[in-house]
Structure 1
């Protein structure tokens, strides 16, 4: 299986699929092609959350503001998975999650003379993903990379009376997903908490409060979310990725 993810929208992913189909019989699965354009951090978050739901696979991911520059094309061995994409931090959070306790091994994909300096998804990464899937990284003998560009997400600071974190991403529904552990809301269902000084209900489900009412909940990622029932949480709370979130603790 080869999965595909990018910020390309349409129609560019079709070209990557065409190259893959011409070089491999692998099953192709599209993860997402609507990541925010050139937003490596947000795409890295979603790859970290989504790719572990797949069985062993080769994962092709492209969000590549530096396409055509001297940034390296990267292949990463992560346990039973492999990842292919630009060396700009995009792959690393997912790779660590997929590898578990296994060590990561990173390799530079050789590039001879790509047809285009603006579409490495088609000309560099898709051919490499097909080769990695069919032959395996050991057989390809790519040169090792000891210093891949890394990307990580900040950890929340938890004290006796409050927890300080930040919004990591906003999903398509407007839910502001934070780096605060959902365990902070344990045993507080039906109560209120203060977020950035505002008193907000704590609810297990969005519909536990009235329509257009703000709430705190624990999303499917296990983190505290700032949300609005049938509305957009990031607008109601006035936050965006990177915004500070201070949650009181009882």
Structure 2
């Protein structure tokens, strides 16, 4: 299997699929092509939430603000998965979710036909080649070179203590739910109570519908982190926060 993920929208991913189909008979699955444009960190977060649910595969990810520059292409081996991407850290958090230890290789590519569409001309052919060679053979391919010099990406860690936590907004999903980096464990034993978010009292509930429509709540999302939400509304608007903003939680 080869999975595809990008910020391309449509129709660009179709060209990538076509290139892959010319080179291999791999099954192709789309993860998403509507990641926020050129937002490496947001794409990286959602990849951590999706790729671990796939069987062994080659994951081709293209969110590439540096397209056309001298940034490298990399292939990351994570157990029996391989992740093909630009060298900007976009796949490193997901790779660490897939394996305790990861190996990074640079991928040598020929001059692409376009300096603006490496998804089609560089990464799709690389994904097909890695798929056909097999993940175990990565170190033996002519185009791969092991490297310790690569762009890394790690999410910031929240500060927690007995009185609460201080963190930041990692992403806002399509529903407007605000995903923070505060671990959900800080709310253990507090469902049904209230906490203070940036100084304002907010109920803690397990489900959005536990409150009336339009009511704000604090919960733990499927990602395991503290989430600020509104039943049938947008948490980002109700709490007045966006990606990267600080969040203070007082118990």
Partner of residue 140, structure 1: 141
Measure, in 2, the Cα distance between the counterparts of 1:93 and 1:121: 20
Give the counterpart of 1:113 among 104, 111, 132.
111
- Distance in 2 (CA, whole Å) between partners of 1:160 and 1:203 is 20
Report SS of the residue matched to 1:230.
Answer: coil
1:131-183: CA deviation from partner (whole Å, max 9, x where unpaired) = 00110313414112211100110111012212111110000000000111111
Residue number in structure 2 paired with 1:124:
122
SS at match of 1:10: coil
In structure 2, the partner of 1:21 is 21
> Is 2:11 the partner of 1:11?
yes
Corresponding residue of 1:202: 204
Contact 2:139 2:145 in 1 (8 A): no
Match of 1:94 in 2: 94
- Separation in structure 1 between the aligned mates of residue 164 and residue 98 of structure 2, nearest angstrom: 32
Q: Could you tell me how far apart the structure 1 residues matched to 2:103 and 2:184 are?
A: 32
Partner Cα distance (1:85, 1:193) in 2: 41
Alignment equivalent of 2:102, drawn from 81, 99, 104: 104
Stretch moving more, 105-114 or 35-44: 105-114
TM-score by length of 2: 0.97
What secondary structure does 2:223 align onto? coil
Residue 188, structure 1, aligned to residue 185, structure 2: no
Alignment equivalent of 2:178, drawn from 165, 176, 179: 176
Partner SS for 2:233: coil
* 1:115 positional shift: 0.4
Between the aligned partners of 2:156 and 2:109, the Cα distance in structure 1 is 34
The TM-score with structure 1 as length reference comes to 0.97
The answer as to whether partners of 2:220 and 2:227 remain within 8 angstroms in 1 is: yes
Deviation at 1:86, TM superposition (A): 0.2
Give 3-state SS (helix, strand or coil) of 1:143's partner.
strand
* Structure 1, unpaired ranges of 5+: none
Q: Which runs of 5 or more residues in structure 2 are unaligned?
A: none
1:243 counterpart = 2:232: no
**CA shift for structure 1 position 91:** 1.1
CA RMSD of aligned residues (A): 0.9
- Which structure 1 residue ranges, 4+ long, deviate > 6 Å from structure 2? none
Task: Report the counterpart of residue 30 of structure 2 in structure 1.
Answer: 30
Q: C-alpha distance in 2, partners of 1:194/1:57?
A: 43
* Paired positions, count: 247
2:222 is matched with: 220
Counterpart Cα distance in 2 of 1:170 and 1:18: 32
Work out whether 1:51 is the aligned partner of 2:51.
yes
CA distance in 2 between counterparts of 1:171 and 1:144 reads 35
